[in-house]
Structure 1
Amino acid sequence: MGELPYSSLDFAGAAQEPVQRILIVDDEARLRDSYRELLAGRAEIVECADGREAMARLDSDTFDVVLLDIRLPDISGLAVLQWARQRAISAIVIMVSADPDIDSAIDALRGGAGEFVRKPCDPELLLRAVERALQRRRLERSHALLAARLEQSERLHRFLVEQAPDIIYTLDEAGRFVFVNGRVESLLGFCREELVGQPYTELVHEEDRERARYAFAERRTGGRASANVEIRLRCKNDDVVHVDNRFIVAMLSATGIYETEMPRDALRFMGTYGIARDITERKRAEEKISFQAFHDLLTQLPNRVLFRDRLALALSQAARRATLLGVMFIDLDRFKTVNDSFGHAEGDQLLKTVAQRLKHCLRAGDTLARLGGDEFTVMLPDLLHADDVVGVAEKIAQELGAPLMLGGQEFRPTASIGIAVFPRDGETVEALIAHADLAMYQVKNAGKNSFGFYSPHMSEARRERLSLENDLQLAIERREFVLHYQPQFSQRSGQMIGMEALLRWQHPRLGLLAPGGFIALAEETGLICRISDWVLQEGCRQLALWHADGHRHLRLALNLSARDFERKDLLERVVAAPARHGIGCDRLEIEITESLLLDDAEDVIATVRQLRQHGVRVAIDDFGMRYSSLNYLRRFPVSSIKIDQSFVRDLGRDQGAASIIHAIVGIAEGFGLHLIAEGVESEEQARRLADLGCEDMQGYYFGRPLPADEVLEWATP
């Protein structure tokens, strides 16, 4: 069988290569503009915004490539694809979609789409996909032209068979190869000479031979003949490059061959004609998409979807067998610190290491999944006793605690583990995961690096918290927040020098709540910034009233949350509040905690410096209790420090307290800072503080926090 080189064909008079055309189908104009700009110069671009317009265009015009979105405003892109295939429209369809559903991607590929690209599209990937499709269309056009010229020539027909990208074969009536084209060698490594006379089973994967029996050596013809049957064909040797060098996946279509010159009722079966198309790459793409839909790409563990599916199946089995099942919710401790200190690359490496260590602690039938971030879940089926989970938890704690290197430093991971057991702690997927999560948070709140079982009171506490969160959402609108004020006095002059504004919540059911009962929740939910805005405005409004009544010497101290310092407009908000009420910025003092100095120190320093430049006073609250550092006092342009009340309380009982206060007084004098002591409850404490050099004070001795209309009345020592 000789081969016919392309140079021997007569292409005289062939028309110049026509301009290729692309149809973009997407309802978002900005995406169509992006695609058009990306593909400019490669083909003629036509656009439309919905499926019906696309079908009308395809019905009346010719295109080489269609960029087709799955989600269109009128009909699905899959429906357009199906319609195009039914109409035998030859354009290559590239599906583009943000749909996370794995089924849509597989349906698109099986429905005849040439490529599937997921939104948001990587421009390089999209461009390569389009260029491949355009090249394929050019080849198809050339092939079609060639086929038309070779239609009447047996020699040219054989040339086409040999150049086909698919394996083309014929079998005799006994299922032995009579002919197979040269493609079998490049795909499978077999020479056709060694296959002729051999049974077709020589090529078929042993596990697929039963199915191949009715497809490979097909005897039927017409509409009943085999079409698009997936069969694995084995490779002869390792010279053939495929997924595992053992087999390819082929799409097989075959039909019986009969002696046509005999009477119809006496047709003699002569053999089978078939085509096998290599779809290995498509199958790999489908498997990859399927894996990504059900696994975490970083750790290769099952994701939330697969975990819930396996848990649901295991629960039905546990109920049938009357066995116990455990669910563990694992959250790494200090993971945010790792990311912030060492970077996300090191954080990702830590997650992969943790995943491997967790695997080593589990049985073959257990399931470990990553839910996202630093959260993992474990399913432990077939338990004899609920306490069997304890051994696994202890093993996990020991395995995780082994040191590893992060950023050139030794690091020992720890985790907080919550445990729920079926059926005691819940009988559904949702209940068990939620209860294990609650138990984990209880461990977090108790100090981390441990494990704990769920108990019903945790759900009650969660319900109370959710109720409080809902009430907090409405508290500002309902005007339920109030400010109480505690006076600050100068011991030397005996005069009131200022007020500290202290937030209270007049809860309609729980009564008057101090900040400790809701501030942490407000910070967690993001409501703290709205609350701080209210405190700023209400405090400055009240201070303006006191100034108008003749108390112009008073200044106001109020607290801001660390979350407030994350806002870019903090300076504008703080400066605008006193200006709105006609008081000077120097009458306002913002109190911050020492722990804030360690969080994003450079940003906080810049914000504090800007506040001071506008005249706003800034004080460090509870000084000496946390991370006191002379270096921070040197870098932060604060105006005041407040001695924590715990040192004041120990005066007269602990000589060390007096020494600490004396040292703080010296620090304040050395840095030129205003000093005030809080928590003064007796005349003796006030006298001792004055002897140590601290003259300005606040506390119950001078006056309790009271509403604005009462505080001036009672604020006299």
Structure 2
Amino acid sequence: MKWKWHIYYSVEVLFALLTCFVIYYAFCRREQSDLVFVIFNLYALLAVILSLILVVRVDRTQQRRKQSTRKRLAHLTENLSSPALLWSDDFSQVVINEKLTGVTGIAMRDDYDARELVGLFFGMKEMNEADIRRIVMERNLERRCTAPDGTNHELVWVTSSVETDSAGVTTFLSIAADLAELRSIQSELADYSRRLAASEGRYALSMELTDIGILLIEQGNPKLFPSDKLCAMLGLQGTVITVPELEKLVYPADMAVFERHLRNMRESMRAFVGEMHRIELRVRAADGQYHWYSYRFKAKENPETGRLVVGGSVIDISEQKAQEAMIEQLAYVDDVTGMPNRNRLMRMGEELYAGTVEMGTSYWVIVMDIDRFHLINDTCGYAEGNRLLQSFAEVMNAQIKSYGGFAARISGDNFALILRDSGEDDLPDRAVQRVQQMLATKASGTLVNRNLTCSAGYARMPADGDSFEHILEHAEFAVSANKRLGSISRYTSVMHDSIIRESDLEMQLAEAIQRNELVLYYQPKVALETGELIGLEALVRWQHPSGQMISPGVFIPIAEKSHLITQITRFVMNEACRQARQWQKMGLPPIVMSVNVSGTDFYQQNICEQLLATLSRNQLDPRWLEIELTESLALKDIDLTIMQMQQIRAAGIQIAMDDFGTGYSSLSYIQRLPFTMLKMDRSFVLDMETDPVVREIVCSVMRIAKAKRIHTIVEGVEKPEQARLLRLYGCDYIQGYLYGHPMDAAETEAYMRENMTKRKVY
């Protein structure tokens, strides 16, 4: 996102500078001009102002969002009941709450360097990237913090990332616990162990000497010895407790953890000598509720009996766990849908990947995109877009209930689903098809006339990659590789190379648009009866710096997937209208200029307004513009298509159905769609001379079109025989190499002049 913003900002600034230059140039020649220059200057000045306002507004919006997030996190940190430190990896934000100041004596001061201050808490002089990774990755980091007055504090830290902004700056929240009390407990335990005797009575006596939760376990003794404080915490009676009695208090889901640690203590107690260990689990407390407790322990030898004794402190950490859950919510849960986010997916996926390698299991990793989601945001607003995301999340969660697995929202309109591979190769296809069916039922409110679909790609783990990150990338490749809406594709190794090539071409195309490397060529449309030129189709070409002329068949599909298509359409529309008007001013006969419009542009809510603005800017009458829509595009969302077309026709702009007869049962839609022209695909021309069935189809289309008062044109005509047959069948116009190849503006002008006096009729 950061590089896209820089490109966008650079384009805006470049456009503003260029427009200022044009204003200055026009001003210097104002005496040689007329009212057109005045109007142009006013428009250009307005464009500069609007561009600058847009840049400033977007920048301020990002700054406000960033400041809001920082304030929210700072407020959370300051109100935590545990010692906490909020800091960013560029050290632009450091927040120390009162609890941490109370423990360490360190408070925020203006004369402190932020990097050194954070390093002070973690006992590190220089905070480099390796130090930051260690702080985040190590679950319980024990470090010595030295205050400015020389006082040392032993702290244990738990750190999580809670926010990464658009500039790539990550904010971390670190929770600390003071080890001074725990160290004191260890010292007391060492003293008590020397005084313990073999009798239970003496154990009970030692427990009376402390007012903290302590649990002792003696080697070879089936009984456990809790302190009075621990008995009060858990509601225990007496001075001893048996293992079965304690098991009744342990939370069922934590029983396996408890039994594993207890078994390790009894079978290999000597392994716990000298080093501090810890176990965390939920136990039912005296209030009848389950609390989180931390048991920090180590083993020492009782000098009086020679037996090993495991002893340690039991501390209620429920509040700390609640804080960790809050951090988990911030770091791992998507705030729009409530689903796990990409961070959670990556952690889960890495664990699963390791398991698949060790246990020989496999999973399907499926990535799904909501088709044309950006159009819904543009036309219906972000609130409606968020509601659709929430509906899609409900659909994903329903799949988890049916198939099991794990689902997450990974970005924008991208979702991921992990399913256990049960040996059925069609499982991903069936799961996605069910998602597609359920998604189609979510069209309500302003989306009631929308055809909601999603596309998907999937890969098998671990077969399709050497890490979960690569598996996920490959599933995303599979989504991108198929250009059809609603497609489902499985990853293959060939896709990777293809995507890399397309990615390079996409970056070159974005640069080409900025450097004005796109040019227009024009192909004639001729009346069959008279040979008169009645129109031109504007065709875009890419003049690559290498000298190669790149066909639109190569770069248009890439532009449609990367949303560069809108910039290309605007360029083609504006240049075609400008050129058509210029030829009119030169005294050439007016012709209809045809421009192809993509689905991305056609389904924008203000498409008609944009067309009229372009016509007005170039002073071209709407009747001399025709937009061409492919048959598949026009019939994709029939109700919305009709609404958009009616607005365009009401404005006086003509509409042609391109590639007619290649996709759907088109004849049934002719009556509903307000087309002015049917453009039959070149495939009919190829077989028309030899196939009687094709000839009959062409004749039928011509008859129906004439009955509906719709003009017809056939493209791809290269032979005189084809032109004669089409003329016989009642076709109005033709387009093809028989009358002219695509030509640049100069060649087209010469062609138009020649057609005024010299025409060919077959």
User: Are residue 394 (structure 1) and residue 425 (structure 2) matched?
Assistant: yes
Q: Distance in 2 between matches of 1:568 and 1:437?
A: 29
Q: Distance in 2 between matches of 1:402 and 1:536?
A: 38
Per-residue Cα deviation, 1:301-325 (whole angstroms, up to 9, x for no partner): 971244346657988x89xxxxxx9
| Secondary structure at the counterpart of residue 394 of structure 1 | coil
Letter in 2 for 1:242: Y
1:162 corresponds to? none
| Secondary structure at the counterpart of residue 610 of structure 2 | helix
Q: Distance in 2 between matches of 1:446 and 1:585?
A: 32
- Counterpart of 2:324 (choices 262, 274, 286) is 286
Q: Distance in 2 between matches of 1:443 and 1:68?
A: 47
- Counterpart of 2:103 (choices 85, 89, 94) is 85
Q: What does 1:624-635 align with in structure 2 at a 5 Å threshold?
A: 624-629=661-666, 632-635=669-672
Per-residue Cα deviation, 1:193-226 (whole angstroms, up to 9, x for no partner): xx1576999759676679999xxxxxxxxxxxx9
User: Are residue 242 (structure 1) and residue 285 (structure 2) matched?
Assistant: no
User: Are residue 519 (structure 1) and residue 572 (structure 2) matched?
Assistant: no
2:493 corresponds to? 454
- Counterpart of 2:543 (choices 490, 494, 506) is 506
CA shift, 1:584, in A, is 0.9
Q: Distance in 1 between matches of 2:641 and 2:660?
A: 17
- Counterpart of 1:680 (choices 713, 717, 726) is 717
| Secondary structure at the counterpart of residue 620 of structure 2 | coil
CA shift, 1:551, in A, is 2.3
Per-residue Cα deviation, 1:476-497 (whole angstroms, up to 9, x for no partner): 2333222111111112233111
CA shift, 1:575, in A, is 1.6
Q: Distance in 2 between matches of 1:689 and 1:230?
A: 87
1:610 corresponds to? 647
- Counterpart of 2:743 (choices 701, 706, 717) is 706
- The question of whether the paired residues in 2 share the 8 Å contact of 1:330 and 1:417 is answered with yes
- The question of whether the paired residues in 1 share the 8 Å contact of 2:226 and 2:239 is answered with yes
| Secondary structure at the counterpart of residue 609 of structure 2 | helix
User: Are residue 307 (structure 1) and residue 353 (structure 2) matched?
Assistant: no
Instruction: Mark the CA change 1:32 to 1:653 in structure 2 (over 3 Å): closer, same or farther.
Output: closer
Instruction: Mark the CA change 1:100 to 1:338 in structure 2 (over 3 Å): closer, same or farther.
Output: farther
Q: What does 1:283-682 align with in structure 2 at a 5 Å threshold?
A: 283=321, 286=324, 298=339, 303-308=345-350, 311=353, 330-331=365-366, 336=371, 347-348=392-393, 350-352=395-397, 372=410, 373-376=414-417, 392=423, 394=425, 396=427, 400=431, 406=438, 416-418=457-459, 434=473, 438=477, 451=490, 453-454=492-493, 459-509=496-546, 511-629=548-666, 632-682=669-719
Per-residue Cα deviation, 1:177-198 (whole angstroms, up to 9, x for no partner): 999879957x63545xxx1576
CA shift, 1:559, in A, is 0.7
| Secondary structure at the counterpart of residue 641 of structure 1 | strand
Q: Distance in 1 between matches of 2:80 and 2:541?
A: 70
Instruction: Mark the CA change 1:300 to 1:178 in structure 2 (over 3 Å): closer, same or farther.
Output: same
User: Are residue 76 (structure 1) and residue 76 (structure 2) matched?
Assistant: no
Per-residue Cα deviation, 1:69-107 (whole angstroms, up to 9, x for no partner): 656976622476521333599xxxxxxxxx999959999
Instruction: Mark the CA change 1:466 to 1:30 in structure 2 (over 3 Å): closer, same or farther.
Output: closer
Instruction: Mark the CA change 1:64 to 1:440 in structure 2 (over 3 Å): closer, same or farther.
Output: closer
- The question of whether the paired residues in 1 share the 8 Å contact of 2:356 and 2:462 is answered with no
Q: Distance in 2 between matches of 1:508 and 1:328?
A: 46
Q: Distance in 1 between matches of 2:573 and 2:733?
A: 24
CA shift, 1:427, in A, is 6.3
User: Are residue 188 (structure 1) and residue 230 (structure 2) matched?
Assistant: no
| Secondary structure at the counterpart of residue 514 of structure 2 | coil
| Secondary structure at the counterpart of residue 582 of structure 1 | coil
Q: Distance in 2 between matches of 1:103 and 1:468?
A: 38
Letter in 1 for 2:293: V
CA shift, 1:629, in A, is 4.5
Letter in 1 for 2:103: R
- The question of whether the paired residues in 2 share the 8 Å contact of 1:623 and 1:644 is answered with yes
CA shift, 1:327, in A, is 8.6
What count of residue pairs does the alignment treat as equivalent? 553
- The question of whether the paired residues in 1 share the 8 Å contact of 2:523 and 2:538 is answered with yes
Q: Distance in 2 between matches of 1:664 and 1:449?
A: 34
- The question of whether the paired residues in 1 share the 8 Å contact of 2:456 and 2:486 is answered with no
Letter in 2 for 1:523: E
Q: Distance in 1 between matches of 2:284 and 2:467?
A: 51
- The question of whether the paired residues in 1 share the 8 Å contact of 2:603 and 2:644 is answered with no
Instruction: Mark the CA change 1:450 to 1:207 in structure 2 (over 3 Å): closer, same or farther.
Output: closer
Unaligned runs of 5+ in 1: 1-25, 40-50, 55-61, 90-98, 121-164, 214-225, 254-272, 319-324, 361-367, 381-390
- The question of whether the paired residues in 1 share the 8 Å contact of 2:543 and 2:550 is answered with yes
CA shift, 1:612, in A, is 2.1
Q: How many percent identity over aligned positions?
A: 26
- The question of whether the paired residues in 1 share the 8 Å contact of 2:283 and 2:293 is answered with no
Q: Distance in 1 between matches of 2:622 and 2:644?
A: 15
Instruction: Mark the CA change 1:689 to 1:101 in structure 2 (over 3 Å): closer, same or farther.
Output: farther
1:19 corresponds to? none
Q: Distance in 1 between matches of 2:134 and 2:496?
A: 33
| Secondary structure at the counterpart of residue 550 of structure 1 | coil
When normalised by structure 1's length, the TM-score is 0.59
Letter in 2 for 1:86: T
Per-residue Cα deviation, 1:221-265 (whole angstroms, up to 9, x for no partner): xxxxx9x9967799689993427xxxx525789xxxxxxxxxxxx
Per-residue Cα deviation, 1:260-283 (whole angstroms, up to 9, x for no partner): xxxxxxxxxxxxx99965334643
| Secondary structure at the counterpart of residue 473 of structure 1 | helix
Per-residue Cα deviation, 1:695-716 (whole angstroms, up to 9, x for no partner): 2222222222111222343764
Letter in 1 for 2:735: Q
- The question of whether the paired residues in 2 share the 8 Å contact of 1:208 and 1:232 is answered with no
| Secondary structure at the counterpart of residue 518 of structure 1 | helix
